[in-house]
Every structure is written in structure tokens, then in C-alpha cells.
Amino acid sequence: MAPAPLQNDETVLLPERIGELTGLDGFGVGGELLAAFLAAFLVGNLMLAMTGVAGPWAKRKITAAFTDRIAVNRLGPAGLFIIVADAVRLLSKELVIPENADRPAYDLAPIVVASSALLGFAVIPMGSGIHLADPEVGLAFVFAVAGIASIGLVMAGYASSNKYSLLGGLRAVAQNVAYEIPLVITGLSVVIFAGSLQMSTIVEAQAETLVDLGVVTIPAWYALVNPFAFVLFLLANFAEVGRNPFDTPEAPTEIVAGYQTEYSSVYFVLIYLGEFLHIFLGGAIIATIFLGGPAGPGPAELGIVWFLIKIWAVFLLTQWLRSAVPRVRIDQLIEIGWKGLLVLSFANLILTAVIVGLIA
């Protein structure tokens, strides 16, 4: 069965829908702002709920399955209450501040890391009418706000007054610079195909048919149209979110825990939350620009279901890599980024431009 294309009513943004349903659109600018706040609150809490499940529970279950171990199974059905137990445990711990810490930067770093990921979801079309904003520069916006996390990691490493934290922050900067460029350049190859930076336009372009086999129709998802770009983007994304084999900024065997070494209690929770939010944001970007966004078999109302399945599939892949692939050294990591992915991403961009130019 062919994936259902986006319906016309799905182009109505979520704040507008909430405004219509609640009558807030009749109260002028104030009502529109309140509707936008409610929409952002709903989407933000959806992402936070997924992160709350992924961090304490799903991560442990998946890793245990890959390594043939028994995961959490004592607290509640399938160990689900570990989510509550971890929240109480971490939030009730004493907040220890290093004596020579740079307090403004130390306090702000966890907030910057977590909030930068949440901002990225503002332009992601999730299907079933769940879409906060749809600017013409949507893809550029999500890359820009996701990159703000690098500032937070530098702030955390510098402000902690700890040599291991500083090394972790410097590694994070070097890694993000080395892989942000291939990530953006590979994303540009999708823009060439779609002819737009607007996220909804990129999703709609993938609703076309690539191959019609009669019984089954294969959609023109860019992961199928250009699998080389898809693999490049996946690798660069793993480096951006700091998952194996690219988790050197927090390598425990070398620098204790890197930039987060001196963080505890609610500050540690925010950094940990930001890490998983960025994994899901990376999955959301991959799903949107390579996997047709919310498109999938069945009615368009199931769009959010398919979108979440795709995000969780990317999360599952990150956990598999965490269990199966060893960490690379920092010099190897930088060399892969600058000498490998950067060259390949430019080659992919040029090849894409040539192919699109010949087709046009």
C-alpha cells in the first residue's frame, strides 16, 4: 500500500487549530499567543515524555537485549517504574557546585543544551496536524538551533573548573565543527531535490511515486532516491549527538565523563535530558528529510504514529551502535570528519546537482 500523502487540512498549523477549537483566535494577538503557547506546551511535553521513557528505561532494555543481560524488571510491569525511581533519585540528590566554578556559565549550560533541542521541534511536521511553525527556511532553522547545544557544552566544560570537563568541552567543539559542515552540506542535497528549505515542502515532495509495482507503490523518499546521502547524514548525525563510535567528548575511560563531570542533581538531569532530546531531534530531522516525514500506510490521521515509529527506529539504531561499535580515538574522529565525510558530502552535493540539472 502506498504511503498516504499529506492532506490539505494538515497544512493548518497546530496553534491555528487550537485557536479555532478553543475560540482563542477571536481574542486578537493575545489569543494567538496563548494558542501558540498551548501548542508548544503540548509538543514539548510529548518530546519530554519520550525522553523520559528512553533515558531510564528503553536505553537499559535495548542495551540488555543486545548484550544478553537482564535489564530492569523489578519496579512495576517490565520495570517501567524505574522512570519514576530515577527521577526521584536524581532530583533529590544534593546539587554540588565546584568551588571555582564560573557560576553564570555553569548554571546556564544545562539549560542551553536542553532548550536548543526543544526549539528544533518547532518546525518539524509530525503529521496528524501537529506542526508548530512552517517558515520558508525551516531546515536552516533546525540546523541553527541544534548547533546552539555546542555552546552549552563549551560553557559546561569551561565553567566547571575541571581539567577533564575542559577537555570534554574542547572535544565537543572540535567534533561538532568537524561534523556540522558535512551534515549541513548533505542536507543541502535534499534541498536541491525538493527545491525548498521549507519542511512541509520537503515532506510533500517525497509523497510522489518513485516506482509503481501495481500492488505496491514505492514512495520517492530521499533515503531511496539518494541512499548515499542518507548514509552520510546518518553518520554525521551520530557524531553530532555524540553516540558511538563518536562519543569521545564524554569518554569515561579517558576523561571521566567529559563536560558533565562536575554536574549533579537537576543540572545533570538537564544535560542528560538534552542529550536524549538531541537524539530524538536528529531522528526527527532524518525522518522528515529522508523518510517521508509522517507518511506511511493507512489514513493521514495515523501520520503522528508513523513519525514516532521512524524516530524510535533511529533511536534503536543509536543504541545498537552503542553496544556493537567501539569508540574511535579523538584524532581518528577528527580525521574521519575532515578527510572523510566532508569530502564525500561535497561529492554528493555536486553529483546531486548534476543529476537534478540533467533531469530538469
Q: What is the per-residue DSSP string for 16-73?
A: HHHHHHHTGGGGHHHHHHHHHHHHHHHHHHHHHHHHHHIIIIIHHHHHHHHTT-----
Strand ranges in 214-324 using DSSP code E only, listed in sequence order: 217-219
DSSP three-state, residue 88: helix
Number of residues written out for the chain: 360
pLDDT of residue 3: 45
Residues with Cβ within 8 Å of residue 137, at least 6 apart in sequence: 197, 198
> Can you give 106-134 as a three-state secondary structure string?
HHHHHHHHHHHHHHHHHHCCCCCCCCCCC
pLDDT of residue 11: 60
pTM for the complete prediction? 0.89
pLDDT of residue 171: 85
* Residue 344, H or E segment: helix 342-359
At 3, list the grid cell. 504511503
pLDDT of residue 360: 67
Burial of 103 (0-12, 13-18, 19+ CB in 10 A): exposed
Pairwise CA distance, residues 91 & 77, whole Å? 23
Burial of 177 (0-12, 13-18, 19+ CB in 10 A): middle
Given a contact cutoff of 8 angstroms between Cβ atoms, the answer to whether 48 and 57 are in contact is no
Pairwise CA distance, residues 32 & 20, whole Å? 10
> What are the backbone dihedrals phi and psi of residue 142, each rounded to the nearest 5 degrees, phi first?
-70, -35
Pairwise CA distance, residues 137 & 135, whole Å? 5
Sign of CA dihedral 4, 296, 117, 97: positive
Side-chain half-sphere CA neighbours of 257 within 13 A: 10
Bridge partners for 218 per DSSP? 211
Bridge partners for 209 per DSSP? 219
Low-confidence ranges of the chain (pLDDT < 50): 1-10
